[in-house]
Chain A
């Protein structure tokens, strides 16, 4: 089976940096996604890590350690619009892509 853990809620201040952690246990690991979901909207793709290390994309960075089953999403220079749920999802193999989601971390950015 698969198990994905991430904090339920986090609060951070506008302009600050926040790190959202995700740990996972899975078989046949392909890669790890981070999605952003604003209330009532579709999840939107942020990043996809296949290899160990840090991937930077503007204000957002994502890190992966496959040996530790660990990833984090780093958000810099927080803006109020960053208030959303951040979903960690693991892609596993089986001849096709199967993506399993964690429960999501609800981030609230305060002034």
Chain B
């Protein structure tokens, strides 16, 4: 069974540009999460989808970040325009069971904003 896959694995862009990260969860997992880890800090929650609906987007830093999950399958996270402080590793995770499910993580997309 394929795990959670993320693309790209690494992206280097200039301040002001746009980047779109993609996550393909494990097939059949209704729950999809985006997390971000900034250098030296903890993995921080960004948002949670249940199927195509945003269940919780309280962790989204600001309106430069837009996440979508049309059709309830893969998800995209767009950063527009990117700022220096957006650099970090963006992890996607999915789970099947709502209350107690193990989160399965992708390997992350490393974003470097110059």
Cα of A102 to Cα of B41 in the assembled complex, Å: 9
Asked whether A97 lies within 8 Å of B108 as measured between CB atoms, the reply is no
Cα of A93 to Cα of B100 in the assembled complex, Å: 10
Asked whether B43 lies within 8 Å of A43 as measured between CB atoms, the reply is yes
Asked whether B50 lies within 8 Å of A96 as measured between CB atoms, the reply is yes
Asked whether B4 lies within 8 Å of A42 as measured between CB atoms, the reply is yes
Residue of A nearest to B99 (CB): A97
Cα of A50 to Cα of B42 in the assembled complex, Å: 22
Knowing A30-B100, A31-B100, A94-B56, say if A42 contacts B105 (CB, 8 Å): yes
Residue of B nearest to A43 (CB): B105
Residue-wise, chain B 22-63 has the 8 Å CB interface mask toward A (1 for contact) of 000000000101010000011111001010000110000000
Asked whether B91 lies within 8 Å of A91 as measured between CB atoms, the reply is no
Knowing A42-B4, A91-B100, say if A96 contacts B56 (CB, 8 Å): yes
Residues of A within 8 A of B (CB-CB), count: 27
Chain A residues near B101 (CB, 8 Å)?
A: 97
Task: Name the one of A4, A35, A50, A89 contacting B100, with C-beta atoms under 8 angstroms.
Answer: A50
Cα of A31 to Cα of B103 in the assembled complex, Å: 13
Residue of B nearest to A99 (CB): B103
Residue-wise, chain A 89-111 has the 8 Å CB interface mask toward B (1 for contact) of 10101101111111110000000
Chain B positions near chain A (C-beta within 8 angstroms): 3-4, 31, 33, 35, 41-45, 48, 50, 55-56, 91, 95, 98-108
- 17 residue pairs A–B, Cβ–Cβ below 8 Å: A40-B107, A42-B3, A42-B105, A42-B107, A43-B105, A44-B105, A45-B104, A50-B100, A91-B100, A93-B99, A94-B56, A96-B31, A96-B50, A97-B95, A97-B98, A98-B45, A101-B45
